[in-house]
Structure formats: C-alpha cells, structure tokens
Structure 1
Amino acid sequence: MTHTYTVTGMTCNNCKASVEKALEALEDITSVTVNLEQSEATISMSKHLTTQQLQEALPNKYQITEKPKTQNVFASSNLIEEEQSDLKQLFPLFLIFGYITVAAILLNYNPWNGSSFMLDFMGLFYIVFSFFKLLDLKGFPESFKMYDPLAKVFPAYGWIYPFLELALGVLFLMRIQIPLALIITVVILGITTIGVTKTLLDKKAIQCACLGTALKLPMTKATFIENTIMLIMAVWMLIKIYS
C-alpha cells in the first residue's frame, strides 16, 4: 500500500535525506520518495502504519500529515508521464556521459589508442563527477550512505569519497600509478554497485548521489550501467597490465 503525506519543516537536501532515512528505518516501510519542492513524501508499506507512528520516527522539526486520497482515473497515463519524467531527470547524466565519451575519443582518435581512450574516459569521469559532488559536500554524504554499503558503516567515507574520485581522476589523466588507481576503482565502484543493485532489487525510490545533490537524479538502471562500464574498463586494463 502506498500513501502520500505532507511533510513540513524541510528546507534543504539535508532535510530531505534526513526524512527519507528516518522513515526507511521503520520495519514495515518498503520505499520512501520525498519531494522537497512540494513538501511531500510518498511512502510504500507492507503493513499500514499510523501517521502518529511515522511522526514518532521523525525528528521534532518535521511534521507529517496524510494527504486525502483522490481517485486516479488516468492511472496508466500517469505511469507514462512518470516514466517520461524519470527520463527527463536523467537527461543531465546522459549528456555528461556523452560529453566525456566524445572528449576521450577526440583525445585519442589520431592515431587511435584504445587503452589511452579508456584511461582518459575514466579520468574525465572521475573529475567531472567529483565536481558535482563537491558542489554540495554537506548534502552528498547523507544521500550517498542511503545506498553505499561502506558509507553506511563508516559515514566519514561519504565525506572522503568526492576527494578520492578527484585524486583518481588526476592519476588517470596524468598516467600516474595506473595499476593502483585501477585496483581502487574496482574496489570502490564494486562496493557502490552492490548497493545500487540491492536498491534496484528492493525497488526503493531514492535519489542517486552519482552527480551529488545539486542535480536530483532518481536511482535507476542507468546508475548500474554507468558503474558497470567503469568496472569493465578497470578490469580490462588490469588484465592487460598483468597478462
């Protein structure tokens, strides 16, 4: 069962992440989607929880009230609109991914060097993605630990991660300690991909922190594909180096 609630008291992405985290911690909650602009929370639950139970899970600064149900005559139409909305939200991710790919190709097309292309791609990927994370360094750790297993256990990892990406980007672009950078890439993206996979399998509607919190991106298969491409490149390069 899914219900929509009005949540007051939220003023920033940190508030949004705090509300999502508090509600998702409840045993019978299966997914939580918070819309900061509309001050709404859409909550799916396996067992009905009262508004009072939800309120008790939230910090005192937030107030939650259930919105009245309205009959949805155009359910299928709304589903199509929701899918289109997700694609629209993901457009910045596709655009950035395209720019990185084209830039890496232009740097290596004459003469073509596949290995150099992959190193430049990974370097640009890390530099660009760390930039967006650093735009809201306070908000990123809260969103990141919603799905990254290591960030959940060690919250400080969420603060370090953008700088780790920046360092890896420099190593790849400058061709410094490439084997070490590849191994770190396999480890950190492998951990994140496990968290992304679990989130997708649990069908939780949460915000993806791949571009920080500056751009509101939903967690979708695109996030899984993005991480998988980087992992394949890193593993391929390691095989070439040590074979």
Structure 2
Amino acid sequence: MVMPGHLCPYGLKSKSILERKGYKVDDNLLTTREEVDAFKKAHGVETTPTAYINGEQIGGYTDLKKHFGHRVLGKDDTTYAPVIAIFASTALMALAIVLNLYEDFSVLTWLKWFFATSMVALAMQKLQDVGGFVSGFLGYDLLAQRYVPYGYAYPFLELFTGIGMMALIGTGSTLVWLVAPVGLFIGAIGAISVIKAVYIEKRELKCACVGGGSNVPLGFISLTENLVMVGMGIWMIAIVV
C-alpha cells in the first residue's frame, strides 16, 4: 500500500526479505483504498501485502518469515529478547563508565555500575506503561496483591534506588541510608514473591520486569533482578557501617 500519508511497512519488509533471499520482485503498488479493496476481494485475503513465489501464494510478511524458516512468535510465546537487549546495553554502558572514570579496570566496580544502570533501565521500561506493568505485577507480587498502590509505586521506587546507587557508588556517604533500605525492601518482597509463585506453586506467568506487555517468562530473570537489589542494598550499607 502506497497511499498519501501511508507507506505500508510490512510491504517494504516483505520486499526486503525476498530480495535478500535472491528473488527478483515484481512489486505491485496499491495507491488507493479502492485498489486495496479490489485486491483483497480478487485474491481472497484480508490484509496486504500478499506475496506470491513462482505463482504460489505465500501470504503476508509473517507468512514469508515462516516460509523461510524464521522464528515467528505467537501471542502467548515467551522470549528473553527484551532482557538480553537491556542487559547487553547496560553492561556496555557500565564498561564505558568504568573506563572513563577510573584509572584501573575493576570487575567489582563494573558490576556495581552494571547493576545500577540495569535497575534504571528496567524501571524506565515499567514507567512507559505503569498501568500495564501493574496488571502483570499483581499476578504474583504478594504486597501488591494486598495493597494495589504499591504496584504503582514500584517502578518509581526502583528508579529511585538505581539512580541513588549510581550517585553514591564509592562515596561512602551517609545518604546511603535513604537509598539502600528501599532497595532491600522491594528486592526482598519481590524475591519472596517470585520464589512462591514459580518455584513453590509452579505457576507459569509472564514477568512484568520489562513492562506489562512483555512475553518474558517469570522466573530466573525477575528473581535475579530482586536479589541484585537486595545485594546492592547490603553492600551500600556495609561500606558506611
């Protein structure tokens, strides 16, 4: 579909994948709503684009991906892609910070920055749709189930903890007492909730750790996120005691 104000992205992606596979593409553009409706009726399809290979109707972009053996996620299929993207990015951010601010590279210092930046990144994901996050969070968090407003506060508390840790890393400041208890509290409640839901009750749930619309399975990732908050809270308190 190539109409005023709309250029179909799936048409472009379909054309691209066919060309990458070595096909010569005869691209037939639909430039008016009438042409689109006529095409759908003539070919018995509900959406465009529709690709044909050697006269055989394959279908739209998703059908093309399946045809060429690419993985296509269903509505309920789970994936770790969001957390891999976040943690890979924050790991590189932490590395850049350490190389820029410190004379010598220390794995421990890198880990502190990695954990702190990861918490901020995860909080940002939740804050994009707090309502959606809370809907998923209520499925397993024990405190949010008893007191729903805690679910709405959680992303802000996580952001506060992550930024606080970034500001206080290596300072030994008594301001740690404002930040560390928050991380300890939300991390401990979260860890207990995940252990109960996943490892005791054996429930299969989606994790709200990267936002309410994600298909990340609840389990190791969310448990690790919470245990890291607990560990960072303990470490921050330890350096000022």
TM-score of the alignment, normalized to the shorter chain, above 0.5: yes
Aligned position for 2:92: 102
Map of 1:14-29 to 2, 5 A cutoff? Answer: none
Indicate yes or no: 2:188 matched with 1:190.
yes
Specify the code of the residue in structure 2 equivalent to 1:211.
V
Q: 1: CA distance between counterparts of 2:180 and 2:192?
A: 18
**8 A contact 1:132–1:214 mirrored in 2:** no
- Kindly indicate whether residue 103 of structure 2 is the aligned counterpart of residue 146 of structure 1: no
Structure 2 gap segments, 5+ residues each: 1-73
Report the TM-score when normalising by structure 2.
0.58
Q: Are residues 1:181 and 2:179 paired?
A: yes
Query: Which range moves more in the overlay, 213-222 or 169-178?
Result: 169-178
Matched length: 158
TM-score by length of 1: 0.57
Bigger radius of gyration, 1 or 2?
2
CA-to-aligned-CA distance 1:39-71 (integer Å, 9 cap, x gap): xxxxxxxxxxxxxxxxxxxxxxxxxxxxxxxxx
The Cα offsets for residues 179-235 of structure 1, whole Å up to 9 and x where unpaired, read as 321221111111010000001121111111111113221112232233223322332
The answer for the alignment partner of 1:6 in structure 2 is none
Q: Which amino acid aligns with 1:104?
A: A
The one-letter code matched in structure 2 to 1:154 is Y
* Residue 112 in structure 1 maps to residue 105 in structure 2: yes
**1:3-42 maps to which residues of 2 (within 5 A)?**
none
1:214 matched to 2:213? The reply is yes
| Ranges in structure 1 where 5+ consecutive residues have no aligned partner | 1-81
Give the strand-richer structure, 1 or 2: 1
Q: Percent identity?
A: 27
The 1:107–1:241 alpha-carbon spacing in structure 2 relative to 1, beyond 3 Å, is same
Two-structure CA RMSD over aligned residues (Å): 2.5
Question: Is contact 2:154–2:186 with CA below 8 Å preserved after alignment?
Answer: no
Matched residue type, 1:103: M
Q: Give the drift of 1:171.
A: 1.8
Alpha-carbon contact 1:115-1:237 (below 8 Å) kept: no
Match of 1:45 in 2: none
